[in-house]
Amino acid sequence: MMKASDPKSKIKETAKGLGIDGIGFCDAGPLDDTEKAFRTAIDRGFIPARSVPRDSTLVRLTTPARHLKGARSVISAYQSYFTGEPPATDPERGMIAAYTRSNYYEDLRRRLKRLADVMERDFGCRTKAFSCYVTLAEKPLARKAGLGFYGKNGVIITPKHGSYVVLGEIITDLELEPDEMLDTTCGSCSLCMDACPTGAIRTPHFIDRNICIQHLSSGMDPIPRDVREHWANRLYGCSDCQDACPYNSSIPPTGRDVAVGAVGSSARLDEIIATSDEEFQARFADNQIGMRGRNAIRRNAVMIAGNSGLDTFLPLLSTCLADDDPVIRLNSLWAIARIKGPSAKTLLEAAMRREHEPEVLKEIKSLLDGLAPVE
């Protein structure tokens, strides 16, 4: 076990010089309450079956010491991504959520790695730096380290920068004095719950991922029909619950320009729908979007096209009916029916005659049953 006389002051000073917006300290003990909360969410069906972690993964997720032998402390950090840039409103473009318009996670991880190098040099300790690490419960560690508190939407809210932050950590065998957790709550406020377009915040701090647009936009889980209709123009991510939070109403915009993984606030839908694997990777390789399947993002663009109501998208959507991916075919049929209404009947009937995928056939039948008769 490594010790140092006054390492915290040095670590805080170095972190500030590296441009890290917030930093806190906690022990590396197991997050038992977090594991219990995960199991509650699983039992209530809030986590889709294909996303339920194995028991071994859940233990690793909630046990920081599993990530570094001899771990004694965790340094939790955050970085603001709020620039004040307004969301996209052009109906021919899909909106990219603010937290992923650049790869803020990678930017923070690089800063934390430099901080970790200083710690190893000055204190002779061992370290490991993370950010957006899928097998480490980052939000509970941020709360435990006093960086913020949980909003009812399950997001960490910091006193200075609200919830528009990304999180990262350094796990170390250096023993550091823990900081106190914040004694703050949302009180009776439920604006985030009211703002959720699909009602996914079922109860405070528990999100139903089966209908959460933020979760669904990044994978290939089936999108329920009523969720598609609330999808609006979101190409990737959703922040309605954060945008409604009073703690985010007057936070300072960051002047930081993060070049790594920069993709902007929106993208043309026609370009995304028609993109090849090579084009997709070239465009999003250094961004979190590039870590997702191309067809998940194409599917999102197809749904946006349907919600736009613009018949200019119909030729492109029609080409998607021959796509190799049944998910693209299914959502394209829905989008066309949403734009054309009852006049889509002939197209749907033709699609039914040539379709062999059971889920797509089920969707076509449902669409036909839901069409009002043409007058």
Q: Give the C-alpha separation, 305 to 90, whole Å.
A: 11
Which residue in 6, 351, 338 sits closest to 176, CA to CA? 6
More confident residue, 374 or 133: 133
Segment 83-103, tens digit of pLDDT: 988 888 899 999 999 999 999
For residue 343, what pLDDT is reported? 96
Which residue in 167, 250, 154, 252 sits closest to 209, CA to CA? 154
Segment 179-236, tens digit of pLDDT: 999 999 999 999 999 999 999 999 999 999 999 999 999 999 889 999 999 999 999 9
Tokens standing for residue 306: 């349907």
| Low-confidence winner among 3-12, 32-41, 358-367 (lowest mean pLDDT) | 3-12
Place of tokens 């709360």: 143
Highest mean pLDDT among 291-295, 332-336, 367-371: 332-336
34 φ, ψ (degrees, to nearest 5): -70, -45
7-84+101-172: CATH number = 3.40.109
For residue 289, what pLDDT is reported? 97
Query: In the predicted model, what is the mean pLDDT of residues 135-141?
Result: 95
35 φ, ψ (degrees, to nearest 5): -60, -40
Is the pLDDT at 153 greater than 70? The verdict is: yes
For residue 15, what pLDDT is reported? 98
Confidence of residue 1 (pLDDT cuts 50, 70, 90): very low
Beta bridge partners of 25: 75
For residue 284, what pLDDT is reported? 97
For residue 51, what pLDDT is reported? 87
Q: Give the C-alpha separation, 317 to 320, whole Å.
A: 5
More confident residue, 134 or 236: 236
Tokens standing for residue 55: 């028991």
**Cα Rg for the chain, rounded, in angstroms?**
23
In a 3-state reduction of DSSP, which class is residue 93?
A: strand
Domain regions of the chain by residue span: 7-84+101-172, 191-370
Tokens standing for residue 326: 């049944």
Give Cα separations from 370 to 22, 199, 204, 355, 375 (angstroms). Answer: 52, 23, 35, 19, 15
For residue 373, what pLDDT is reported? 61
Q: Give the C-alpha separation, 99 to 80, whole Å.
A: 9
For residue 372, what pLDDT is reported? 63
For residue 255, what pLDDT is reported? 82
By the 8 A CB rule, do 100 and 169 touch? no
- First-to-last alpha carbon distance for the chain, in angstroms, is 79
Q: Give the C-alpha separation, 126 to 120, whole Å.
A: 6
Is the pLDDT at 298 greater than 90? The verdict is: yes
